[in-house]
Amino acid sequence: MATKDSPWSRSLLESDAAVKLAAAARSRIWMESLAKPQELKKLSCGSCDFGARGLNAVLEHCKVLEELSVKSIRGIHETAEAVRLHSSSSLRYICLKELVNGQVFESLVASRTLKKLRIICCLGNWDKVLQVNGDGNSSLTEIHLERLQTPECSIGLVCVVERCGLLRKLHIDGWRTKRIGDEGLMALAKHCLLLQELVLIGVDATHASLSAIASNCKKLERLDLCGSSAIGDAEMACIAEKCVALRKFCIKGCPISDVGIKALALGCPNLVKLKVKKCIVVTGDVREWLRERRRTLVVSMDGDETKGPAVIGSEDGGRGLETVVEEVLTPVADGGGDTEIAAGGGGRLAMLKTKLLASKNFVAFTLRRWLQSEATGST
């Protein structure tokens, strides 16, 4: 355990610009001593015993602190003093994870200088924290909300996006609670016109809200929709028609079919990557259709298997079977007219790996057969 007077601690306080504490700094006194270096820019705290007073000491003295990550701080309780952020703060990034009593962090989240906000797996009523963020114009460009156990997520989301006209990235994991509905998503479509990335997990986005987002957020390049029973082929057709700038699309666990996938491929002219997972109605036939229609499109679907020569292993039910990708070697004519076999380093490495695996399995197979024949002869 590091102490205030240890050589390691003195060196840390004098020079480091980034500090990560994980159960080593367990007291408020240590945190107050840590607050002395004026050049501290990054601080990460995990599973520590100090509370709001220790964090306030850091925020008060570390004027150039830009990034703060707080996880599982056990000293935060209902009667704790608020974590205060001064007007001269230069804080740009905050990550709050596995915490309770969100009201303590209202001042942090409401900071006008804040660019990125991540709130993950936190208990308690965080709606008020998100509503406070809506006071005045916000500089937030990235928001990540994951598994918040709060009663009215849509209300908090509306308050945030109404002030976040500069928002570029939004990640929402509803944690199967389905508490974020069309109200929050419609507000997003209305106020966040510069949105480029949107990830919705466990959020039942309807045709109306998706249509509004696709129509208003013209710069949307990445869209992930996961675990929603409300997204079907009609919603896919809407995305295909209106998301002209879309480059990456992922859909997982939604009731879509081959019709929706084909509609997306026929639309979205800038689409370069498509990922379809756990959509049980989608068949493998659409994969071949996509390869014919959109040859440059990178497609990832359930059942994708690595192709290549199979190296035969043992007779133990196929458990020794291994598959290796081998690069195809293409003949290339050199300047003198002779033909050579050209391959990159990856091709030679793949061939070598194939030979090594084949040799290893052949030796194992031969040894097993020899032992079996010896056992048979002895009986």
Can you give the pLDDT of all 379 residues of the chain as single tens digits?
A: 344 333 433 334 343 455 666 554 445 555 555 555 567 888 888 888 777 888 888 888 888 889 999 988 877 776 667 888 776 678 899 999 988 877 788 778 777 788 999 999 887 777 777 776 655 578 889 999 888 765 556 677 787 888 888 999 999 987 666 667 788 899 999 999 999 999 999 888 899 999 999 999 999 999 999 999 899 999 999 999 999 999 999 999 999 999 999 999 999 999 999 999 999 999 999 999 999 999 999 999 987 654 433 333 333 443 333 333 333 334 444 444 444 434 444 444 445 454 455 555 555 666 566 666 655 555 5
Strands 42-46 and 298-301: unpaired
- Which residue in the block uniquely carries the two structure tokens 């990922």? 275
DSSP 149: B
Q: What pLDDT, on a 0 to 100 scale, did the predictor assign at position 333? A: 43
By the 8 A CB rule, do 61 and 33 touch?
no
Q: What pLDDT, on a 0 to 100 scale, did the predictor assign at position 186? A: 92
By the 8 A CB rule, do 326 and 308 touch?
yes
> Would the CA dihedral through 152, 154, 157, 163 be positive or negative?
negative
* Contacts of residue 322, Cβ cutoff 8 Å, sequence gap at least 6: 310, 311, 313, 357, 361
Max Cα separation, the chain?
89
* Contacts of residue 108, Cβ cutoff 8 Å, sequence gap at least 6: 68, 83, 85, 91, 94, 96, 114
pTM of the model: 0.72
How far is the CA of 329 from the CAs of 105, 287, 350, in angstroms? 60, 26, 11
Query: Which amino acid, 219?
Result: K
Q: What pLDDT, on a 0 to 100 scale, did the predictor assign at position 148? A: 73
Distance CA 25, CA 29 (A): 9
For residue 185, give the 3-state DSSP assignment. helix
Residue 171's nearest CA partner among 187, 188, 151 is 188
Q: What pLDDT, on a 0 to 100 scale, did the predictor assign at position 153? A: 62
Q: How far is CA 120 from the centre of its chain?
A: 12
By the 8 A CB rule, do 36 and 60 touch?
no
Query: Which amino acid, 310?
Result: A
Q: How far is CA 248 from the centre of its chain?
A: 14
Distance CA 179, CA 128 (A): 16
User: b/e per residue, 220-254, with b = 16+ CB within 10 A?
Assistant: bbbbbbbbbebbbbebbbbbbbbbeebebbbbbbb
Distance CA 360, CA 319 (A): 14
